[in-house]
Amino acid sequence: MTSILITGATGYIGGCLAKKLIGNPEFRIRLLVRRPGNLPADLAGQVEIVQGDTFDRKILLHALSGIRVAYYLIHSMGGGKDFEQKDRISAENFRDACIDAGVQRVIYLGGLGELGSASSHLRSRMETGEILSAGPQQLQTIWFRAGVIVGQGSAGFEIIKNLVKKLPVMITPRWVRTRTQPIGIDDALAYLTAAAKLDVTGNLVVDIGVKEVTTFKGMMELTAGLMDYRLMILPFPVLTPHFSSYWLILFSPISFHVAAALIEGLRSETVITNNNAEIYFPGISTISLKEAVRHALGITRE
């Protein structure tokens, strides 16, 4: 049985992964969370929980004791000028504690994109991956890079769904035409789960996503069609990211800081640049974007 630690379990990806792994007899699950009260009831009673965060070395070492594989699913989405520094310190603390505790493998989910055109939040996620990967002789890192996660409860997808429902006519900025390759939540979880048992040595960077390249506009149009909503999108290229963030919070259930981070990220292309998913995970075949959206909407028929 493989002992696993999951961080970020009160977030969307971490919570979904924890629920998926709980039913797997091959894994023994431990969660590191700041606020155990925020965990879903169906998680809290089935796993070992350590209360704390990645800024407390003593707590980290306790949480990582006896762990073979650790999932790092933490990223600052809030505001503040120091979020990059906090992300940096958190990743360094986690990497060093994993090495000291004898953890064999860290699995990290970051974002797709190129450094030159990346937003500050995407740059921070890239830096986090580099930090976690900085000691390959002592700690192996499998670094997944993904675009928008398509699933019920995902911040990126909930924005799309709410905009489609509430705005039949949209005045949109340039970023809605940025190329992207999202991924369905079930496929993302399949990769994250398989990585725990992957027979590979050394660090690995794996880009994951649907096979087709689309845009945020294309995702909205597809979602509208599946929901039987009419949608008219009118370009307005001078709409600023700051104004776009206010526009999002008016029509979707997210905070301004989260909206600002997502808008900033959507200005950068998020497309797959390597084929490591096919090489190292040949047993996983991603569903199409249409199927992923259909599943997220709970649609079981055409």
- pLDDT tens for residues 145-174? 999 999 998 988 888 888 788 766 666 666
* 24: helix, strand or coil: coil
Q: How confident is the model at residue 75 (pLDDT cuts 50, 70, 90)?
A: confident
Q: Which residue has the tokens 């991956």?
A: 129
Contact 133, 143 (CB under 8 A): yes
Mean pLDDT of the region 16-28? 92
Between 122 and 125, the higher pLDDT residue: 125
- List all residues 6 or more positions away from 87 whose beta carbon is below 8 Å from its beta carbon: 75, 76, 124, 125, 127, 128
CA 67 to CA 102: how far, in whole Å? Answer: 8
Any idea which of 194-198, 235-239, 274-278, 298-302 has the lowest mean pLDDT?
A: 235-239
Any idea which of 194-198, 220-224, 279-283, 292-296 has the lowest mean pLDDT?
A: 220-224
* Domain 2-147+185-208+271-282 falls under CATH 2.60.40.1480: no
Mean pLDDT of the region 78-84? 66
- pLDDT single digits (tens) 219-273: 989 999 999 988 777 666 655 555 454 455 555 555 555 655 666 656 678 899 9
For residue 301, what pLDDT is reported? 58
For residue 108, what pLDDT is reported? 98
For residue 266, what pLDDT is reported? 64
Looking at the predicted structure, is the pLDDT value of residue 285 above 70?
yes
Where b means 16+ CB within 10 Å and e means fewer, 216-236 reads: bbbbbebbbebeeeebebeee
- List all residues 6 or more positions away from 221 whose beta carbon is below 8 Å from its beta carbon: 231, 233
Looking at the predicted structure, is the pLDDT value of residue 41 above 70?
yes
What would you report as the CA-atom Rg of the chain, rounded to the nearest whole angstrom?
Answer: 19
CA 35 to CA 72: how far, in whole Å? Answer: 17
